[in-house]
Chains A and B, each alone.
Chain A
Amino acid sequence: QQQVRQSPQSLTVWEGETAILNCSYEDSTFDYFPWYHQFPGESPALLIAIRPVSNKKEDGRFTIFFNKREKKFSLHIADSQPGDSATYFCAASGGGSAKLIFGEGTKLTVSS
């Protein structure tokens, strides 16, 4: 089934902490897993993405951990900053399809 589940719905962390956002999927043909962030009133912007040839992808403070066996992937935001406060969407695509299936979103608030 082509669904992507995301948790938690909302998350509050203190500045400097690591925020962890989780996603899971069911369709084993998915082979591309991006994370987008969206600030209020703005368009979603790609943050980081992974393909299952590896189980970890880092870009600065942002890291994706991927577990193919459990069909789960997570976004870790290290040293969270107030400017990271936004809604984060995980997504997946694959199986020859170009469409992105989005998770429900996590509203992240970083308090200082």
Chain B
Amino acid sequence: GPKVLQIPSHQIIDMGQMVTLNCDPVSNHLYFYWYKQILGQQMEFLVNFYNGKVMEKSKLFKDQFSVERPDGSYFTLKIQPTALEDSAVYFCASSWGGQDTQYFGPGTRLLVL
């Protein structure tokens, strides 16, 4: 099936540093998403992005978070500065339309020390 790629697969950083998570969505998809999964729990929606704009965001999408997709390149999630509670697996997803199947990437495992 369609593949979403995420880089890096793992990231360890010190609290207070900046981190950028990269997502390469399915090529013809128009909607992009980030979800956060803490070990053993369900995925929780962070944000979705369409046509260069944030469409929706949850209360988990703190002021320290930002997303962009400059010129059709990677869809990125930036956290600046990071906090201990940001440690989680971050999944990127994409879909063609807003109500279509969302395809998930393999996740980036972020550990903030």
Q: Please indicate the chain A residues that have their CB under 8 angstroms from the CB of B41 in the complex.
A: 104-105
Q: Please indicate the chain B residues that have their CB under 8 angstroms from the CB of A46 in the complex.
A: 101-103
Q: Is the CB of B98 within 8 A of A98?
A: yes
Contacts A44-B104, A45-B104, A93-B99 given; indicate if A99 touches B45 (C-beta within 8 A): yes
Q: How large is the interface on A (under 10, 10 to 19, 20 to 34, 35 or more residues)?
A: 20 to 34
Contacts A89-B43, A105-B42 given; indicate if A98 touches B99 (C-beta within 8 A): yes
Pick from B55, B99, B106: contact of A42, CB below 8 A.
B106
Q: Please indicate the chain B residues that have their CB under 8 angstroms from the CB of A105 in the complex.
A: 41-42
- B-facing mask of A25-65, CB < 8 A → 1, else 0? 00000001010100000111110010000000000000000
Q: Please indicate the chain A residues that have their CB under 8 angstroms from the CB of B42 in the complex.
A: 6, 89, 102-105
Q: How large is the interface on B (under 10, 10 to 19, 20 to 34, 35 or more residues)?
A: 20 to 34
A93 to B33 Cα, complex, angstroms: 14
Within 8 A of A (CB), among B23-45: 31, 33, 35, 41-45
Q: Is the CB of B56 within 8 A of A97?
A: yes
Q: Is the CB of A98 within 8 A of B48?
A: yes
Q: Is the CB of B45 within 8 A of A101?
A: yes
A44 to B93 Cα, complex, angstroms: 10
Q: Is the CB of A49 within 8 A of B101?
A: yes
Q: Could you list 19 further interchain pairs (A-B, Cβ under 8 angstroms) beyond the known A98-B56, A102-B35?
A: A34-B101, A36-B104, A43-B91, A43-B104, A43-B106, A44-B43, A45-B1, A46-B103, A93-B99, A98-B95, A98-B99, A99-B33, A99-B58, A100-B33, A100-B43, A102-B42, A102-B44, A103-B42, A105-B41
Q: Which B residues are closer than 8 A to A by beta carbons?
A: 1, 4, 31, 33, 35, 41-45, 48, 55-56, 58, 91, 95, 98-99, 101-107
